[in-house]
Structures are given as structure tokens and as C-alpha cells.
């Protein structure tokens, strides 16, 4: 009877995906954002994680080395996952002394308005995922690395990101959690032997719960190395969007290149 009631009451409800995908390393959940170019090849990978009170742990050489091995392992063995809003009714739990209620269907545009609430009838659940572009990426990376070994692939990705003229750059953003809000702490560029802290990126917390971000997007030389500054800017902006910030950007010329100033409001 309980199963019949469950089907009647939430049968029309649907699971809704969130956008980000994740993998785990050393007991820490890492968000992965893949930016693709016009030809759908992956041009930039932005990773982020909250490491508790000791946020410097995530940028240590040992943590980064293991994280990249686990990232390559997630690619090879399809260990990425996403979060999905699933219909849920506590009245369907064994022994519950209440009557199941109707859970209405909703559109994907409603995801940002959902709360993890019993009253709304939805809760977040992890679900394995394997976007097709990751299969293409894995094939391309293993061919370039000349191996499918996890360690070799991880070393290849770090070496590629470290190149000045790289077609694939990787960045890592450390965050801390405050009442469910992801607050960026620092940015580093993933490289061959370590994650290079980007000391010229300044992130400040605002009294209204938002943040202000200051970062150069050029060195004033008008040469090709400015492309990396723009790439880095886009990596930060992509992740701020994933963290549910809405940012107002402004560019100023410091005399030594453009400076991006963003005031970002937390939208959740």
C-alpha cells in the first residue's frame, strides 16, 4: 500500500540536475568546471574545494599531487558525480505517522528557487554522471600522454597547464563554507610540481554577504601573454557563477594594464 501511495502522490514529480560535477580526493569534495572551445575541445578546467579551517591544506604540494591523480582516476574510471533534486516525502518513511502529500512537477528554471526542504518535497542526492565530452577528452589526453596510466595522465595535465603557450590551463580555487555559502579564499594555477598561488588576485568579503574581487587582466605589454590573464579571469568568473554569485564587473587602466574589479552578490 505504501508503494502504491508513493506512486500516486509523487509519480508526476521529476528529478532536476544541478550544473556542476564533482569528484572526491582525500576526504574532500572537489567541484570541476570544464570550459569548452568552439570545437568542443576542453580549453580550461577550473577546480574548487572547501578545506575547512585550514584552507592552505588544499594548496599544499602533497594535496595537489594526490588531487590530480584522483582527477585523472575520475576521468578514467568514470567517478564524477552531480547533485540532483529528487522528490522526497518523509511520510513515506517506514513508521511515519503522517499522510503523503502531492509533490508538484517543476521546470529547470525553478532550480535556483528550490530549497533543500521537506515542505517543498525535494532533497539533493548525488548521482553518477559521465558527460560525453569527458570521453572525448580522456581519449585526447591519453593519446597525447602516450599512456592510460593515472599517474602519467595526471603529470601530463599538470605539464600542459604549466606551459606558457598551453591550449589547456587548469586553475584551483580554495573556498570556505559559511552557512552554506561558498566564499572564495584564493586562486592558484595548477602546474608541474605545485599549484602556483596567484598573489595578484585580491578577494575581500563585504558586510552584506557579498565579495569584491580585484585582479589584473593584462600586463600592459599588449603581447600574447595577456591571453593567460584573460583565461584566468574567465576561470574565476565561471566558478563564481557556479558558487551562485552575480557579479558586476568594471575595468580600469592602472597604467600597467587593465584591472578587473567585480562586486558580487550571493544570489541564493
- What's the mean per-residue pLDDT of the chain? 82
SS3 annotation, 160-220: HHHCCCCCCEEEEEEEEEECCEEEEEEEEEECCCCEEECCCCEEEECCCCCEEEEEECCCC
Residue 99 is predicted with a pLDDT of 64
DSSP label of 55: G
210: pLDDT confidence band, cut at 50, 70 and 90? very high
Query: 132 or 2, which is more confident?
Result: 132
Smallest CA-to-CA distance from 157 within 239, 20, 149 is with 149
Burial profile 154-180: b = 16 or more Cβ within 10 angstroms, e = fewer: bbbbbebbbeeebebbbbbbbbeeeee
Residue 92 is predicted with a pLDDT of 66
pTM over 0.85: no
DSSP label of 88: -
For the cut 50, the answer to whether the pLDDT of residue 197 exceeds it is yes
pLDDT tens digits for range 26-74: 999 999 999 987 766 898 999 999 887 777 788 889 999 999 999 999 9
CA 65 to chain centre: 19
Amino acid at each position: 500500500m505504501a508503494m502504491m501511495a508513493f506512486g500516486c502522490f509523487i509519480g508526476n514529480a521529476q528529478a532536476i540536475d544541478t550544473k556542476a560535477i564533482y569528484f572526491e580526493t582525500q576526504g574532500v569534495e572537489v567541484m570541476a568546471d570544464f570550459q569548452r572551445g568552439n570545437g568542443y575541445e576542453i580549453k580550461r578546467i577550473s577546480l574548487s574545494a572547501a578545506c575547512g579551517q585550514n584552507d592552505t591544506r588544499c594548496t599544499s604540494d602533497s594535496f595537489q599531487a594526490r588531487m590530480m591523480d584522483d582527477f585523472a582516476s575520475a576521468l578514467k574510471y568514470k567517478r564524477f558525480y552531480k547533485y540532483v533534486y529528487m522528490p522526497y516525502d518523509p511520510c513515506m518513511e517506514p513508521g511515519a505517522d503522517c499522510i503523503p502529500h502531492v509533490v508538484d512537477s517543476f521546470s529547470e528554471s525553478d532550480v535556483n528557487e528550490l530549497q533543500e526542504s521537506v515542505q517543498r518535497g525535494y532533497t539533493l542526492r548525488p548521482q553518477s554522471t559521465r558527460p560525453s565530452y569527458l570521453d572525448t577528452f580522456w581519449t585526447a589526453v591519453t593519446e597525447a600522454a602516450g599512456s592510460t596510466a593515472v599517474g602519467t595522465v595526471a603529470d601530463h595535465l599538470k605539464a600542459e597547464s604549466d606551459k606558457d603557450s598551453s591550449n589547456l590551463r587548469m586553475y584551483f580555487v580554495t573556498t570556505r563554507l559559511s552557512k552554506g555559502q561558498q566564499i572564495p579564499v584564493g586562486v592558484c594555477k595548477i602546474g608541474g610540481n605545485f599549484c602556483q598561488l596567484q598573489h595578484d588576485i585580491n578577494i575581500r568579503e563585504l558586510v552584506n554577504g557579498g565579495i569584491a574581487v580585484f585582479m589584473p587582466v593584462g600586463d600592459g605589454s599588449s603581447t600574447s601573454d595577456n591571453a593567460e590573464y584573460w583565461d584566468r579571469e574567465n576561470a574565476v568568473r565561471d566558478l563564481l557563477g557556479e558558487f551562485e554569485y552575480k557579479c558586476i564587473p568594471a575595468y580600469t587602466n592602472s597604467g600597467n594594464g587593465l584591472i578587473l574589479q567585480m562586486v558580487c552578490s550571493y544570489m541564493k
